[in-house]
Structure 1
Amino acid sequence: MKRGQHFVGVALAAAAVIGATSLFGNDYYFRIIFMMCVYYMCAAGMNVLVGFAGQKSLGQAGLFAAGAYSVALLTSRTDISPWLALVAAAAISGVCGVLIALPSLRVKGPYLAMVTLAFGIVVEKLVGEWTDVFGGAQGIYGIRPITWNGQPLTTQQWVWFGVVLCAVTHLLLRNLLNGRFGRALLSLQADEIASASVGVRVYRAKVIAFVVAAVTCGIAGALVAQQNQYINSDFITFHLSIFILLLVLFGGSGSMYGPLVGTIVLTSIDAALARWPSAQHFLYGFLLLFALYVMPNGVTGVLNSLFKRRAKVVPAKAATQSKPTRIGPDASGDLLEVEGVTKAYGGVKPAQDVSFRLKRGHIHALIGPNGAGKSTMINMLTGVVKPSSGSIKFLGEEISDTPAHQICRMGMGRTFQNLRLFSELSVLDNVMLGRHTRMTNGFLPSLMAMPGATKQEVITRDRALQLLELVDLAHLAHQPAGSLPYGLQRRAELARALATEPQLLLLDEPAAGLNPQETAELGQLLLRIGKCGVSILMVEHHMDLVMSVSDHVIVLDYGIKIAEGKPVDVQCNPRVVEAYLGVDEEAEPVEALVAA
């Protein structure tokens, strides 16, 4: 659905809810709907963190407390406007999100959940026992509510405000997640190494996800405090963190509508079982296990799978220009200089004092027997692995200690020996992710869907389709990347690497797993890419491919460079023959190397 149509749909839905609440005056139902709005705010931000970035958090109750107690202290002890206090509470919660993210993101998986859980428990104990500031169980009274025309909002008006706030939150997060930042966050939970290789700043993206979750949860806490005009430690429990996580997992993490479905269903159940707290806790535990094991994609995931079975695949529209004329710049000279590079893992040295230079406009090959250190060298060049010593200069700049995303931004793209596609994303989204560093729209323009951000999306999409045409995959643009045959996945990964607009493209065994026909087609494709202004360094075992397309060959054996030069010269080199065949040079014709 287009952005304008979606905006109209959300506005009509919000108006319908507001209109429906005007028909009844029962405060009990108003309270339930208001709490749905509160929980949706928590769940929508949590969905960004869990569903998109893949970071499990059990500390949302602490962020809820940050917003609630911030607005409570500001309005009860100062003369600040309640509206400004609400904004300040959101900002304070965002800062707390950063403070949680910085130490938490040094760990992964269950350890991350434990760190966030510890934060939630610390906050729970803090507000419960530091009575001089937070009031403990007695709480803080006299919290000034939001006013309109000088009068505090009625219960019905609080519902209206909550509905409008939820609609705005949904629209803003949709703007953010359906573009550059959404793709970046989805790439994190798929493969962080591949994400960094296409220019995503992994740590920064995770922090952004934490901040978004913190801000929305803090606003929710502030709304509860101001609507009740009272807050105490009973609101801040571990049960709240579990409930917020359950809203996302049950509704469907990673879906824009999952938090809404989870909120409506579970808040209704919560209200129905309010008289039986023990039954509530049992049901939450059961639903959490049910969502994790039986329905891992939640309610919306089940519904989406049903609709997808009936949906027809829509072919991608051709880009305005069928073939990209240029990818790399038209220049000459040395592109990469490697001097005395060594990598040691204890006593094992996959690279020992290796030196070579790569020239612009050439296709270079890095070959050698298994265990020669070829992939280690590629990983050092792209910043995945740091060399123990030596110098690596790209475009005249030292990059031996430069992070992978920055090297990508400088103009070095890569593929991997073992496929690292984002298999759940479409082929088109994979390639669009490759242009992450080439897009100039920042966080706020993306959040607000400013014209510049929209234009960047259009340019990126057109360029991605051009590159898919280059590798003959345009007709499969909307297919999940993981559903393609292996050979086509190799091409999709190559298109993603080309989308980074590289001056130097590093290919780690691009022909691995391909049949002879596919290997021959790959060779022709590499020649076409070379004509687009991209210099290539490929690690490859298919000697027929190496000898047919390479201008320059470098040979490693046990981490030592034993030869380099033109393909004809290298295949006649006695040391190369011995390294591959394990015999003296006089005993075996050198032509056997070609068939190796």
Structure 2
Amino acid sequence: MTSFSLLKDRRLDWLWFVAICLVAAVVPAIGLSNYISGLIVLGAVYALLGLSLNLVFGYLGFTSFGHAAFFGLGAYFATLTNVYLGINFWFAVALSAIPGMLLGALIGFASLRIGGAYFAIATMTAAEILRLIAENWVDLTRGPMGMMMPRPTLSFLAPFASFQQYYLAIVLLVAGLAYLAIKRLLRSPIGRSWIAIRESIDLAESVGIPTLRVRVQNLALSGALGSIAGALIIPKILIVTPNLLTPLYSATAVLIVILGGRGSLIGPVIGAAIFAWLPEVLRSVGEMRFAVFGVLLIVVVRLLPKGLVSLWPSKQAAAPTTSEVLEKPLHVTAPVAGPMADVGAETPSGPPVFAVSGLTKRYGALVALKDVSFSLRRGEILGLMGPNGAGKSTCMSMASGFVRPTSGSISLFGKDVSALPPHRLTELGLARTFQQTTIFGDLSVYENILIAVYNRRPVSFAASLIQSTRFRADEAARAEIVWQLVAEVGLMEKAGSLARSLAYGEQRLLSIAIALATDPKVLLLDEPAAGLNPVEAATLTTLLRRLKQRGIAIILVEHNVRMMMSVCDRLVVLHHGEQITEGVPAAVRNHPMVNEAYFGVGQTQ
């Protein structure tokens, strides 16, 4: 991303801000009837609720059937604090973000290890618990009858505008600012981390994204916006009841997102407008209007599975992890060392930077790996060989933190890291690729690598919203790193292409670039040459030698014996989960147990 692109994005954001303020000021002033104003208010509240759910459902990739929990909680919080504590209602609306945020974080922590239908059930359960509390705590909430709310006027605005006018202005302003805030977050490492988790949670973890923490933060933000939406509906309905916590509002939020376009920023706004207006337009058909509305929804979802936003240009429909496909810097024309390089000696040197000792993994009575030990020095390529089922991938998974060893130890730069999760190992300088090609398939080549520079220049939530000069400088530096890595693996001409559209060999090279983007000192490559043609294999061999010259320590798992013999300094051979030998390629090649494992008894290579 060039400085010009970042500056252009910032100017566009200021234009968005001015436009939002103008709409919030002008629309109420044009003398709309209370009926039309009420529909616009409902659409804006629905848009805020849809944006809230879209953070989880669209960008994070987790289905929530319980967003009514946040909606109803915000409504009750604003009403109760106003009625019982005398807090100004509009101030209470702002404060309602706090309980929503706390509930979102609580749900996130309580459901850290689950996903799919289980997560959806967990959110639905939270909403039902709150509904039962609201219905049965009669002394506080007045139970099923609900609490009447007096119209929350603002006396200092009364001489200038009617209640309906400034209420409409406030709702439009809040919804617009929420839209702009999410837009900014999506152009930051925080927003890109959400997309990464949605696309591949294992790959996200392997590039240093703390997926559990990011998930909790996303749910907390979603809960805050959902609660504000619930609080803002109260001046329209002037009563808060347990009905606000029922599945009806959860279903409404889900349908708004699906109808407009899941994973798009404008989608929930479109869906909300339709949900607010279309039932009223269909009043002419009487009691059948909801049936007709339902049929129209089914037709739209069937014909446009990506939502109505798919009718827009593709740039609007795509998840905006970056503002656009970015122009490449003119000075990046060939593979370069770049900031990820750490030039060192061509021969292995110094003490071990990575070591495993007595590494063992048991699954019940099955021993997948038994008592494996080896070490790795700076600038060394260590080959991990063995027939299928020898335990190589299990060893790599344990070395990278994805599988916890039954016994044994793993050390990185002299520190025991056996119990650390993958993202912590990445922060310490270890990266890996996977046996099965793992990339963010629905993102461009550029965006794949941009996500992986997450830890290069850490950024806070506040900085992502403010996007100061320092933030823009950091983004430009991240982009420079990305372009150098794109050139490094020879994908400059494919930078704007979707990763899933690449040839298989190019995808393997992209997966290596993703790992290199984390600035590793130790790199674990699991069968990077699998499926490559001779030209692509030669390109990979050249890349490995360049990385070795920079002092990166590499563990290479590969079935291409010729490549292993030519690029590796040492080889470790596994068979049936046990280590049978270790040494330089020439010695390993003639080892009788290696020949037996690969070619059978009495055979020679």
TM normalised by structure 2 equals 0.91
What is the CA-CA distance between 1:175 and the residue it aligns to?
Answer: 0.9
1:281 to partner: Cα distance:
5.2
Structure 1 residue aligned with 2:92: 85
| Equivalent position of 1:317 in the other structure | 329
Equivalent residues in 2 for 1:276-425, closer than 5 Å: 279=288, 282=291, 285-286=294-295, 289-290=298-299, 293-305=302-314, 316-318=328-330, 323-325=336-338, 327=340, 329=342, 330=344, 332-425=350-443
d(CA) in 1 for partners of 2:57, 2:368: 38
Which residue of the partner structure matches residue 234 of structure 2? 225
Matches within 5 A, 1:108-507: 108-143=115-150, 145=152, 147=154, 149=156, 151=158, 154-273=163-282, 279=288, 282=291, 285-286=294-295, 289-290=298-299, 293-305=302-314, 316-318=328-330, 323-325=336-338, 327=340, 329=342, 330=344, 332-507=350-525
Read off the aligned partner of 1:127 and give its amino acid letter. Answer: A
Instruction: Give the match's secondary structure for 2:77.
Output: helix
- The aligned length equals 585
In the alignment, which of 523, 544, 552 is matched to residue 534 of structure 1?
552
Identity %: 31
Moved more, 377-386 or 545-554: 545-554
Q: Does 1:11 align with 2:18?
A: yes
Deviations 1:55-106 (A, max 9, x none): 1111111111111110111111113233432222111111111122222343
Cα distance change on mapping 1:278 and 1:96 into 2, 3 Å: farther
What CA distance in whole angstroms lies between the structure 2 residues aligned with 1:440 and 1:314? Answer: 22
Cα distance between partner residues in 2 of 1:277 and 1:542: 71
Q: For residues 512-543 of structure 1, give each alpha carbon's deviation from its aligned partner in whole angstroms, at most 9, with x where no partner exists.
A: 01112211221111111222331111100001
| In 1: Cα distance, 2:40 partner to 2:229 partner | 13
Residue matched to 2:321: none
What is the Cα deviation at residue 473 of structure 1? 1.0
Q: Once structures 1 and 2 are overlaid, which stretch shifts more, 448-457 or 535-544?
A: 448-457
Q: Give deviations 1:359-391, integer Å, cap 9, x for gaps.
A: 111111101111110011000000011110001
Q: What is the CA–CA distance in structure 2 between the aligned matches of 1:62 and 1:179, rounded to whole Å?
A: 28
Aligned to 1:525: 543
Q: Structure 1 pair 505/286, CA: closer, same or farther in 2 (3 Å)?
A: farther
Per the alignment, do residues 527 and 146 of structure 1 end up closer, same or farther by CA in structure 2, a change over 3 Å counting? farther
Number of the residue aligned with 2:601: 583
3-state SS in 2 of match to 1:149: helix
Contact 2:20 2:177 survives alignment (8 Å): no
- Asked if the contact 2:46–2:272 (Cα under 8 Å) also holds between the matched residues in 1, the reply is yes
**Correspondence for 1:32:** 39
The Cα offsets for residues 183-218 of structure 1, whole Å up to 9 and x where unpaired, read as 111111211111110111111111122112111110
Task: Assess, with a 3 A threshold, how the Cα gap between structure 1 residues 315 and 450 changes in structure 2: closer, same or farther.
Answer: closer
Shift of 1:146: 5.5
- Residues 94-133 of structure 1: CA deviation (Å, up to 9, x unaligned): 1111122222343211121122112222222332332221
Relative to structure 1, is the Cα distance of residues 455 and 57 closer, same or farther in structure 2, using a 3 angstrom cutoff? same
Q: Specify the code of the residue in structure 1 equivalent to 2:328.
A: A
Q: Deviations over 1:391-428 (max 9, x none)?
A: 11111111111101101111011111101101011111
User: Are the structure 2 counterparts of residues 424 and 148 from structure 1 closer, same or farther at C-alpha, using a change threshold of 3 Å?
Assistant: farther
Letter in 2 for 1:295: L
* Farther off after superposition, 417-426 or 323-332: 323-332
Following superposition, the deviation at residue 336 of structure 1 comes to: 0.9
Check the 8 A contact 1:76/1:141 in 2, yes or no.
no
Per-residue CA distance 1:215-252 (angstroms, 9 max, x = gap): 11100111122454432234333111111111111111
> Structure 1 residues 284 and 399, CA, compared in 2 at 3 Å: closer, same or farther?
farther
The 3-state SS of whatever aligns with 2:263 is coil
